[in-house]
A and B are shown apart, each in its own frame.
Chain A
Amino acid sequence: MAEDINRYLRQDKLPHIWCPGCGHGTIMANMLRGFARSRLDQDKTVVVSGIGCSGRATGYLDFDTLHVTHGRALTFATGIKMANPELTVIVVTGDGDGAAIGGNHLIHACRRNIDIKVVLFNNSIYGMTAGQFSPMTPTGATATTAPYGNIDQNFDLCELTRSAGATFVARGAAQQPRQLIKIFEKGFAHRGLTFIEAITQCPVNYGRRNKLGGARDMLNWQKEHIINQTKYESLAAEERQDKIPSGILYQDKREEYTERYEKVIASARGSEN
């Protein structure tokens, strides 16, 4: 991996706070490799994050960075992008941050197709608060707040964001860096709401409690269960049962929100004369 990502990191803020074996660092590093390949301007890029272990990423990233309230990163990002459409705006969020408390903002940002790149670190649990279940915790798994097993149904966030109006939807995993970098590269180049679900492992607050072993075992689980979309589609229905498709799942062109607002400005000015 030739990309030099050091220039995108605040070296003096490292080492990071994430636990040994946590997948968040892998996702962040591959996000930066994708960013390097996309050749976007570092000085014209703002990264916004909410609260959670994943949200701490903004502290390490050498851009304009904003660490906000739990679940609300997309709302701040929307203001930034609307204010200055020339900026590249990236949101780093978690499965609790982005899909529970911030779920409503996620679907509305998708609906607008505003040019924000949403990177959701999905570790299937509330990591930072020590292991309560999230909307991405599988049914039946245990969590500190689901000691008898989780009865909730989890989301398929890629289906959700696609139907809400996102125009770039992809899923990758910490265990599959090559594919992940490519997803980031393509996603960052896309104009419109870009949703990237990055599956990652929380050995401390999810793996251990669910007897999934340590980080290595959890990465092996990813290897066995997360398969490329083309391969996934070639499988029979019963073979798909315990598999998760990855890759760029959907991409489309639709007019982006700030571009549409430029037309509002033009017509408001026209009607003034």
Chain B
Amino acid sequence: MKNKAGDKIKENQARIMLLQGDEAVVEGGLVAGASFFAGYPITPASEIAEGFAEKLPALGGKFIQMEDEIASMGCVIGASLAGEKAITATSGPGFSLKQENLGLGIMVEAPCVVVNVQRVGPSTGLPTSPSQGDVMQARWGTHGDHPIIALSPSTVKETIDLTIKSFNMAEKYRIPVILLLDEIVGHMREKVRIPSAAEVEIVERKRPRPEDREEFNPYQETEDHIPPMPDYGQGFRYHSTGLFHDKTGFPRGKSEDARLLMDRLMAKIDENLDDIILLEDDLKGDEEVVVLSYGSTARSAISAVTRARQEGLKAGWVKLMTVWPFAEDYVARLADRVKEIVVPELNRGQLIGEVERAACGQAGISGIHRYDGTIIPPDEILDKIKEVS
């Protein structure tokens, strides 16, 4: 394997390690080919920056600690346009700061990964306590309509897998991908196997051929809606802007261009839901109650459902790994055949609104919501299953 500078770098070997979720982001990122990190320290995400600071240079990659999270987000997008696989990591207050530049990244279609290890907000909130309070911010944090992909792991192993997927989806769809951890997954230690790069699928962005330079339209509509992207310095001399633009990359101030661009940006995601939406379920087909969860809450949900079944209840579970785009069709089908969907979340009720929308009255929906920095124990979910059975 060679890095961009053409130096030989060591092929990573599969190995077993005891890792925190935050460290797993680093290991997974390196497997995926992460070559650039920019960030600003914040609890509970600092370990990610520390890990990349140590490991990237040895692989010929780059790490930079910026003056704030706004700068980190800009830096990552700049590096991406220059050809790097770039990543940044933060938590609530920093995630808020990143939002404006995140929108720029969506508009200029710069592949990158933005990790948010969620803590309790708003404001400084509870810096060391877990939360799933930024789910809606991940969807709508930057202003205006826009597409977004957000993945959320519930274990350290899943953190490795979903970090790799985040890079792959970012490269494939030319979009910033948000990886939503929470303080529990970020700081929890589990024994995991880190795969070698040869074992997993690694996606690289589509790049134009040198001969395409002559008549290059950087934001051209294509069959898959994803235009090829050159690295800076390859003689394409193209323009990118946060203003609405046509296929040439330049703004013309025409409303038609705004509609066409927005439709293309949305189509990149909307036409690939099967590829993007990742979830796991354990359903026997006779369920009356299904617990739908994501992130660390899924751990309690799975344990509660296992116990419910042992007690003879007809219960099942669904774990969303892709939070955005939301698995609307799946939930609609589920609602058609079960009595109740239980949605535990570490917030006052965010994703449950999407579940209600998709279920459209076909099943009862009940939430379990904690927003005090403590987890939802399996008992509480089990009680709810019994209550609604």
Contact = CB atoms under 8 A, between A and B. Distances in A.
Interface of A: 13, 42-44, 46, 48, 58-59, 62-69, 72, 74-80, 82-84, 86-87, 104-105, 108, 261, 264-265, 267-269, 271-272
Interface stretch (B63-71, B188-196, B348-356): B63-71
Counting from the closest, the 7 A-B pairs by CB-CB distance are A79-B78, A75-B74, A83-B82, A76-B78, A79-B75, A268-B57, A67-B241
Most buried by B among A43, A67, A272: A67
B74 A83 contact: no
B237 A62 contact: yes
B23 interface: no
B151 interface: no
Contact of B71 (A59, A78, A80, A265): A78
B75 A272 contact: no
B57 A75 contact: no
Q: From DSSP, what is the main secondary structure of chain A's interface residues?
A: helix
B74 A79 contact: yes
Contact of A79 (B86, B239, B241): B86
A153 B241 CA distance: 33
A44 to B, nearest CB: 5
Given A75-B66, A78-B66, A79-B38, A69 B242 contact: yes
Given A84-B82, A104-B68, A68 B74 contact: yes
Given A83-B78, A83-B83, A83-B86, 17 more contacts: A67-B239, A69-B242, A72-B71, A72-B101, A74-B71, A74-B74, A76-B78, A78-B71, A79-B77, A80-B81, A87-B232, A108-B66, A261-B57, A261-B62, A265-B57, A268-B54, A272-B58
Contacts of A86: 233
B51 to A, nearest CB: 13
14 contacts: A67-B239, A67-B240, A68-B74, A68-B242, A69-B104, A75-B78, A76-B75, A78-B38, A79-B38, A79-B82, A82-B75, A87-B232, A104-B67, A267-B57
A265 B83 CA distance: 19
B57 A78 contact: no
Given A76-B78, A77-B78, A268-B58, A65 B240 contact: yes
A79 B243 CA distance: 21
B219 interface: no
Contacts of B70: 72, 75
A77 B78 CA distance: 6
Nearest to B103: A69
Given A42-B237, A46-B232, A83 B66 contact: no
Interface in B64-108: 64, 66-68, 70-84, 86, 100-101, 104, 108
Contacts of A77: 78
Contacts of A264: 57
Main secondary structure of the interface of B (DSSP, over half): mixed
Interface of B: 36, 38, 54, 57-58, 60, 62, 64, 66-68, 70-84, 86, 100-101, 104, 108, 231-243, 250-251
A269 B60 CA distance: 8
A269 B236 contact: no
Given A13-B250, A79-B86, A265-B57, A64 B75 contact: no
A83 B84 contact: yes
A83 B243 contact: no
Contact of B240 (A66, A75, A268): A66
B67 A105 contact: yes
Contacts of B236: 64
Contacts of B62: 82-83, 261
B108 A66 contact: yes
Given A46-B232, A66-B240, A87-B233, A76 B74 contact: yes
A40 to B, nearest CB: 12
A104 B86 CA distance: 23
Given A46-B232, A69-B101, A76 B238 contact: no
